[in-house]
């Protein structure tokens, strides 16, 4: 295997582990209710106007639990400024099932200083299933990233959700504060502990 192939393999394994551990953490946290308000200042991460790349020009990454023995299926569509992801969660025995989209902030995984912002803002519509978001810090070396489970009314409408950084929790590690100067990605994960349908759409992801 050449060096380029090894690098790609390591990146894929890393992103898959991000998704797995993000999902593990949300299983131990309470849902965060949607907070609706006007956004005054934000930094757009993805407005989904490009079919393959986020607003920063970096390809979106998509994974599911098939890399860990599950049988989850997912159908992705990015069109007219909206990412739509739907499918069926089918976990491996004794494991959670998941389907994850990862928005990197740097093509080489370098961190972004987001300390001037308060949290993550999403415009999201959930038709079915459970959803979470994580802020992935390069300081977290055991993949136990700061995560929040989202609670969105399934009414067929987009809702603005603001997730303050200081409400995001880690699952099994010491509950240290997220260092917002070291974030290199945001993960959006559909999950369940048993077979279940998921269907959600995202119009925009930003820091606020």
Backbone φ, ψ for residue 21 (5° rounding): -75, -35
How confident is the model over 130-146, as a mean pLDDT? Answer: 93
Structure tokens at 181: 């100067």
Task: Specify the pLDDT at position 68.
Answer: 87
| Residues 6 or more apart whose Cβ sits within 8 Å of residue 5 | none
Annotate 13-45 with b (16+ C-beta within 10 A) or e (fewer): eebbebbbbbbbbbeebeebebeeeeeeeeeeb
Distance CA 186, CA 35 (A): 19
Whole-number Cα distances in Å, 158 to 106, 188, 204: 28, 16, 10
Mean pLDDT score, 61-86: 95
Q: How confident is the model over 58-69, as a mean pLDDT?
A: 94
Residue 84 CA from chain centroid, whole number: 14
Token pair of 34 as six digits: 């949607």
State the burial class of residue 66 (Cβ atoms within 10 Å of its Cβ: 0-12, 13-18, 19+): middle
Domains in the chain: boundaries: 3-207
The answer to whether the Cα torsion of 23, 76, 72, 194 is positive or negative is positive
pLDDT score recorded for residue 4: 40
Q: Each residue of 4-48: pLDDT tens digit?
A: 443 334 434 434 444 444 444 444 343 433 332 333 457 999 999
Say what percent of the chain tops pLDDT 90.
72
Residues 6+ apart with CB under 8 A from 171: 21, 24, 25, 26, 27, 28, 29, 144, 147
Strand 146-151 vs strand 31-33: parallel, antiparallel, or unpaired? parallel
Of residues 15 and 168, the one with the higher pLDDT is 168
* Cα-based angle 112, 116, 122 (whole degrees, multiple of 5): 75
What's the fold here for domain 3-207?
A: Jelly Rolls (2.60.120)
Looking at residues 74-79, what average pLDDT do you find? 96
- The percentage of residues in the chain with a pLDDT greater than 70, rounded to a whole number, is 80
3-state SS assignment for residue 133: strand
């Amino acid at each position: 295997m050449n060096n380029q192939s090894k690098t790609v393999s390591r990146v894929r394994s890393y992103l898959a582990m991000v998704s797995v551990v993000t999902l593990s953490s949300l299983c131990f946290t309470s849902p965060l209710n949607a907070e609706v308000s006007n956004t005054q200042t934000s930094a757009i991460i993805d407005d989904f106007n490009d079919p393959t790349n986020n607003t920063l020009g970096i390809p979106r990454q998509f994974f599911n639990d098939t890399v860990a023995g599950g049988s989850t299926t997912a159908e992705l569509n990015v069109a007219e400024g909206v990412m739509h992801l739907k499918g069926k969660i089918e976990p491996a025995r004794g494991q959670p099932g998941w389907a994850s989209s990862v928005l990197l902030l740097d093509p080489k995984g370098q961190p972004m200083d987001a300390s001037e912002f308060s949290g993550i803002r999403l415009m999201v519509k959930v038709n079915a299933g459970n959803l979470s978001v994580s802020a992935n810090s390069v300081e977290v070396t055991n993949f136990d990233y700061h995560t929040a489970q989202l609670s969105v009314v399934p009414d067929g409408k987009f809702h603005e959700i603001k997730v303050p950084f200081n409400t995001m929790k880690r699952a099994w590690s010491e509950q240290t504060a997220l260092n917002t100067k070291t974030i290199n990605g945001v993960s959006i994960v559909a999950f369940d502990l048993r077979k279940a349908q998921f269907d959600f759409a995202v119009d925009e992801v930003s820091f606020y």
